[in-house]
Amino acid sequence: GQQVQQSPASLVLQEGENAELQCNFSSTATRLQWFYQRPGGSLVSLLSNPSGTKHTGRLTSTTVTKERRGSLHISSSQITDSGTYLCAIGGTGSKLSFGKGAKLTVSP
Amino acid sequence: EAAVTQSPRSKVAVTGGKVTLSCHQTNNHDYMYWYRQDTGHGLRLIHYSYVADSTEKGDIPDGYKASRPSQENFSLILELASLSQTAVYFCASSHRVTNERLFFGHGTKLSVL
């Protein structure tokens, strides 16, 4: 099955610094989605980006499908950005495979 | 914003007992999913469904059954709960497959003792 590796596993930043999260996957994919999990558990979809570069607010997602990698850039991090960021990969069909997540801590 | 409601929010079950986790969505989504999350494993797909009265096995279906009696409702059933099924369970829904956002419920924390 699809293997999804995220790096780094954890990241500590000071407020205002930028974060770069990586996602590498083992098989051909037509879907890449980024999710945010709040401390306490609920998950929110951030971006769906199958290829190329996509921006929303302070988030930039870049996916290079043929190299089986994606990244999420968070600019000017804020304390409220703290939480876990998950990458999910899917091919044809409805199943998404998730990485283990990257825990981001933003301090004042 | 899509609404996915899970019940209960938490549950303590005894080994060998039957557990039913329920999920209800109000946005006319076709697809519904059950995932479990364990420390160190991320989210893993248990069962999913793309139409009422039909369910499909995900990546880790052993020990679980699923039921989709209507488009809005999707249940996860543990007939004989085991210690290894202690985890947080998330239900999600989406409208269509390709690049559609998944909307998650708040999760159910299940402890099997």
How many residue pairs from chains A and B have C-beta atoms closer than 8 A? 57
Q: How much is the pLDDT for B49? A: 94
Closest listed residue to residue A82, CA positions, set A27, A40, A23: A40
Question: How does pLDDT run across A43-83, given as a tens digit for each residue?
Answer: 999 988 889 999 999 999 999 989 999 999 999 999 999 99
Per CB-CB distance under 8 Å, the chain B contacts of A88 are: 43, 102
Handedness of CA B31, B34, B37, B43 (dihedral sign): negative
Task: Point out the residue among A1, A96, A100 whose CB comes nearest to the CB of B102.
Answer: A96
Tokens of B10: 């938490």
Q: How much is the pLDDT for A60? A: 97
Please, what is the average pLDDT of chain A?
A: 92
Task: Point out the residue among A30, A45, A100 whose CB comes nearest to the CB of B41.
Answer: A100
Number of helices and strands (H, E) in chain A? 0, 11
CA distance A19 to chain B (A): 21
Question: How does pLDDT run across B68-81, given as a tens digit for each residue?
Answer: 999 999 999 999 99
| C-beta of residue B83 within 8 angstroms of C-beta of residue B17 | no
CA distance B46 to chain A (A): 10
Question: How does pLDDT run across B7-23, given as a tens digit for each residue?
Answer: 999 999 999 999 999 99
Per CB-CB distance under 8 Å, the chain B contacts of A87 are: none
Cβ contact, residue pair B104, A42, below 8 Å? yes
Q: How much is the pLDDT for B102? A: 86
Question: How does pLDDT run across A2-54, given as a tens digit for each residue?
Answer: 889 999 999 999 999 999 999 999 988 888 999 999 877 889 999 888 899 99
For chain B, the residues whose C-beta falls within 8 A of a C-beta of chain A are 31, 35, 40-45, 48, 50, 58-59, 88, 90, 92, 94, 97-107
Q: How much is the pLDDT for B32? A: 93
| C-beta of residue A8 within 8 angstroms of C-beta of residue A102 | yes
The percent of residues in chain B predicted with pLDDT above 90, rounded, is 80
Q: How far apart are CA A91 and CA A1, in angstroms?
A: 11
